[in-house]
Structure 1
Amino acid sequence: MKNAWYLAIDGGGTKTEYRLLDGQFRAAERCLGGCVNHDFLPGGWEDTARELRSAIADLLGRRGLQIGDITDTVAGLSGVDSRTDQINIERCLRDIGLTRFLVCNDGFLPVKAECNGWGIAYNCGTGVCCCGISEESRMIKSAGLDEWSGDAGGGRWIAVHLFRAVYQRLFLHGENTYLTAAYQQKFGCRSEEDILDSLTLLKDPTEHPEAARAAVELFFAALEQKDEDAQTLAEEMTDCTAENISVVCRKLGFAQAQIPVVLTGSVHTKAANRTYLDLLEKRVQKAMDGRAEIFPASKEPVAGAQKWLEERAANASGSA
């Protein structure tokens, strides 16, 4: 459609990417906005709507467009985890002025971007999320509720459990391990008080993102050295991964011999070493009887929203 305009949005807990697409689905404008996850915003859904409205208005203003000029929108947003969330975010988008849209959890976008439209995406970033789409377009989500769903493996989870392992070894048992020594060196700790002070950094990853990244790097380094506590955490993480992927696979009833499984998020694509990824693949293949075709993400998630918009436009044209 020559005069059509489309919005593709990938919304996260720290930043959000917006793309304005022309009638040929080419990116005409892009911008980065802030957090849109209502769980992380003091004003909840009101703050989510305010952030979306402001960023979209800025994006459209660059082309002299109004919200009514948007033909269709696909938005994958962190924090859309339940029916109540779905109702609230759809209300937000209608209040902004969007009339045609598809909105879902951001974990579904990599399936569209990486797996030819169907398959499973397992995300490990700040948190954990497992999303699947069938060839019939059925959508299933598992995990993504932090401690409430027993998630294991996100950056926040790694930092908490890494510190706990160090604390228990040193404070409770007076033991020194590769992990405890490496932790003290990484965070410049010379006393128990220094260790407790390091916790204040880990508790606030927004203000001290470098501390959270250091904890994740330290975990994988300790795993490479076969540290006992790191191995225990890795087993818990990969068990969580395998269980969620196999559950989503079963619920979607994939009949294919090979199921595409894309690994997304900074823990998978930036931090994880070969030792961990090999363990993950072994656990997942065992849970899925060798049917998983596992690969790392290579595209930005917002590309999934863009592809989804093209599919929706084609379907609309076909039914016209």
Structure 2
Amino acid sequence: MEKLIMGVDGGNSKTDYFLFTDKGTFVDYYRGPTCSHEQFKDGYEGAYRAMKDGVSKLLDKHGLKPANIAAAAFGLAGVDTPNQKANIEKIVSELGFSRFQVVNDSFLGIKAITEKGYGVCSINGTGTSCGAIDRHGNCLQVGGIGWIVGDDAGGGYIARLAVRSAYLSAYRMGKPTSLTEIVMNQLGITDKYYLMEAISEAALKRRIDYTGLTLAVFAEAEKGDAVARDILQSVGVSCAQAVAGAIMNMDFDEPVEVVLAGSVWVKGASPIMIKAFSDEIARHVNKQFRILTLQVPPATGAVIWALELAGGVFPDYEKRRQIIETVSAHLEAEA
């Protein structure tokens, strides 16, 4: 008799719930709102309500309960520390699941596209973090809570550096950069005398176009602007240091599979940033590694992980391919 598994990918705005059999056959799918405790005023109580609602909407119409699910994997935003992980595990257990894995969503890319089911994933999207799973199944997250732990990457960070670089160029002996004119145009000023005031007001009223400025940094770097190139190189180095730190603190065989995920890595695809990333890893790590770019939905990693939990072995290529194609098709239809 076929068993049922569930894979859940929860971000800060939405959560995707997938139901499959342990043979890799699709059963159902539901997209709900975020279930991250960080997005609710009542924290974990809000997360419990949202997750219970999402699970119920997926299972109830099939006459199923969480107890009927052989294994489930939850990759969720906001699971950054052991305490957060323990609190979410408590919620999942209270919902009725017995065999499950709860991790930060940064780990899902590893299960989604690596050949061995373990490796390191560098997230470089709106924000940044790094998740690693070694060959013994141990998990480690490096960063993910902001500047205070060295998270010097992500689109928001790149955009802030663009604004900072414009001001440094204007008044603090920074290098001349084409980003200055771009920043001033976005802020609606023509005289640098008003630059600090414009930055202050835009930041206070949250009117800075972070996406536009991030794209501008990529464009100006390609044109040869030294400051824009320095920004992308620094981001590549920062992400690489997190990856190298994960590799050095865990047990990997060679080659270590390193996954790039998030819009800055995937859509930006900057050779400048990727070269800085690769060179910095090689500078610190005495192991062969290969870089993979995540071109499939992270939710596929949650389903594959649940399948691994149910069967005790990492699924073969054909089964993983089947899951990737099915999950991708449903999420493309949703979009």
- How does the TM-score come out when normalised to structure 2? 0.82
| CA-to-aligned-CA distance 1:253-279 (integer Å, 9 cap, x gap) | 3232x2111101111001232232233
Gaps of 5+ in 1: none
Counterparts of 2:41 and 2:145, CA distance in 1: 18
Residue in 2 that maps onto 1:252: 250
Residue in 1 that maps onto 2:219: 221
Residue in 2 that maps onto 1:292: 289
- Within-5 A mapping of 1:53-202: 53-116=52-115, 117-170=117-170, 177-186=177-186, 188-190=188-190, 192=194, 195-200=199-204
- RMSD of equivalent CA atoms: 2.6
Query: Which of 58-67 and 293-302 deviates more?
Result: 58-67
Shift of 1:140: 1.8
Counterparts of 1:290 and 1:129, CA distance in 2: 22
Rate the CA distance shift 1:174–1:75 in 2: closer, same or farther, 3 A.
Answer: closer
Residue in 2 that maps onto 1:268: 265
Shift of 1:175: 8.6
| CA-to-aligned-CA distance 1:97-151 (integer Å, 9 cap, x gap) | 3232111111111111111201111111122111121222122221112122110
Q: Which amino acid aligns with 2:49?
A: R
Counterparts of 1:234 and 1:172, CA distance in 2: 21
Shift of 1:179: 0.5
- 3-state DSSP class of the match of 2:62? coil
Counterparts of 2:174 and 2:73, CA distance in 1: 54
Counterparts of 1:29 and 1:168, CA distance in 2: 53
Counterparts of 2:174 and 2:282, CA distance in 1: 39
Matched, 1:24 2:23: yes
CA contact (8 A) 2:71 2:307 kept: no
- 3-state DSSP class of the match of 1:252? coil
CA contact (8 A) 2:7 2:303 kept: yes
Q: Which amino acid aligns with 2:30?
A: C
Gaps of 5+ in 2: 314-335
- 3-state DSSP class of the match of 2:267? helix
Residue in 2 that maps onto 1:238: 236
Counterparts of 1:48 and 1:167, CA distance in 2: 41
Rate the CA distance shift 1:134–1:175 in 2: closer, same or farther, 3 A.
Answer: closer
CA contact (8 A) 2:235 2:273 kept: no
Alignment length (residue pairs):
308
Counterparts of 1:100 and 1:87, CA distance in 2: 15
Counterparts of 2:189 and 2:284, CA distance in 1: 41
Counterparts of 1:13 and 1:274, CA distance in 2: 29
Query: Which of 149-158 and 60-69 deviates more?
Result: 60-69
| CA-to-aligned-CA distance 1:239-293 (integer Å, 9 cap, x gap) | 212211111111113232x211110111100123223223322322333347220
Rate the CA distance shift 1:174–1:142 in 2: closer, same or farther, 3 A.
Answer: closer
Counterparts of 2:190 and 2:174, CA distance in 1: 15
Q: Which amino acid aligns with 2:160?
A: V
Counterparts of 2:185 and 2:97, CA distance in 1: 52
Query: Which of 19-28 and 170-179 deviates more?
Result: 170-179
Counterparts of 2:286 and 2:168, CA distance in 1: 37
CA contact (8 A) 1:220 1:276 kept: no
CA contact (8 A) 2:5 2:310 kept: no
Shift of 1:89: 0.5
Shift of 1:183: 2.4
CA contact (8 A) 2:237 2:280 kept: yes
Counterparts of 1:132 and 1:43, CA distance in 2: 30
Query: Which of 166-175 and 278-287 deviates more?
Result: 166-175
Percentage of identical aligned residues: 26
Shift of 1:21: 1.4
Shift of 1:59: 1.7
Q: Which amino acid aligns with 1:285?
A: A
CA contact (8 A) 2:35 2:50 kept: yes
**Larger relative CO (CA 8 A, sep 6+): 1 or 2?**
2
Counterparts of 2:312 and 2:22, CA distance in 1: 15
